[in-house]
Amino acid sequence: MKTLFLVALTFVNFVSAKAFVVYDTTPYWPIVTATVGGLGPGQSSTIAETFVAPTGPAVTLNNFSFNTESYYPLYGGVASLHLRAFVFAWSGSLTGHGGGAVGNALYLSPSFVFSPPPRPGGWVPLTASIGGNGLTLNPGQNYVMGFTLSDPVDYAASQGDIEFQSVPARNPNYNPPPIPASVDFGSGGAVWLNNGNNFTALNTTIWDTWGDIGVMAFTAHFTVVPEPTIVILSVLGAVFILFQVRQSDRQAIR
């Protein structure tokens, strides 16, 4: 009876186990200190990062962030942008020109005001916290996450521009590349759309990204449930160990 209880407890522990996956390119930005900008009225209205969702039976995106600072007004001015964070499915090339967001927004935040410190050295994270149990994604599928001020009300209320840290992940001029080949950052790239105050263009047009400039300096946190086979093998292993212990106890009594 005690053995069965231990087996059941082990099974519950393994089934409830979750893994946390983090895409993080921010440690590699100081190697090249590249930037992409600006996001603001009269400039690009939308900037984002494409990515491939992690693998596993159940994947959720919990939050993501880009590093940014105020770029305009010049000489110490601070931008004031009314932004919305979003996540869409993505179709077409993950890097460079030729792709775009498709379907309805999987996540769209309420409007919020963002005013990062001015350049130089004003870098702070621009963060989207999805909340709740996170956003459920299809494992291994293509997505785009980012920020836009293209809602007409947000666009009219925004002033100034901001710029972002970027990392030229696949640039052949860097040998070795800034991001080691062993680092999984989602296999995507920085993308943008000059859609003014036309919010509906987000998922109805090919984006304006003209080339592969690399990736945003970004972080994204995911929760991934492990493969069922791993759980089953772990439980079977626990059962085998308990059985061996039980047999040893019986032999010792004899």
Over the chain, what is the mean pLDDT? Answer: 86
43 near 213, Cβ under 8 Å? no
Q: Which candidate, 223, 137, 132, 165, places its Cα nearest to that of 28?
A: 165
Tokens 């870098």 — which residue?
Answer: 123
Output the pLDDT for position 158.
Answer: 98
Q: Which residues pair with 165 in a beta bridge?
A: 35
- What's the number of CA atoms in the CB half-sphere (13 Å) around residue 87? 24
Sign of CA dihedral 72, 73, 79, 83: negative
126 near 109, Cβ under 8 Å? no
pLDDT at residue 254 tops 70: no
Ordered by start, the domain boundaries in the chain are 1-17+228-254, 18-225
- Which amino acid is it at 159? Q
Q: How far apart are CA 20 and CA 59, in angstroms?
A: 10
For 153, phi and psi rounded to 5 degrees? -70, -45
pLDDT in tens, 122-135: 999 999 999 999 99
Going by pLDDT thresholds of 50, 70 and 90, the confidence category of residue 251 is: very low
Sign of CA dihedral 144, 146, 150, 154: positive
Going by pLDDT thresholds of 50, 70 and 90, the confidence category of residue 17 is: low
pLDDT in tens, 189-233: 999 999 999 999 999 999 999 999 999 999 999 999 876 654 444
CA distances from 40 to 49, 81, 107, 194 (A): 17, 7, 21, 10
pLDDT in tens, 55-70: 999 999 999 999 999 9
User: How many residues does the structure list for the chain?
Assistant: 254
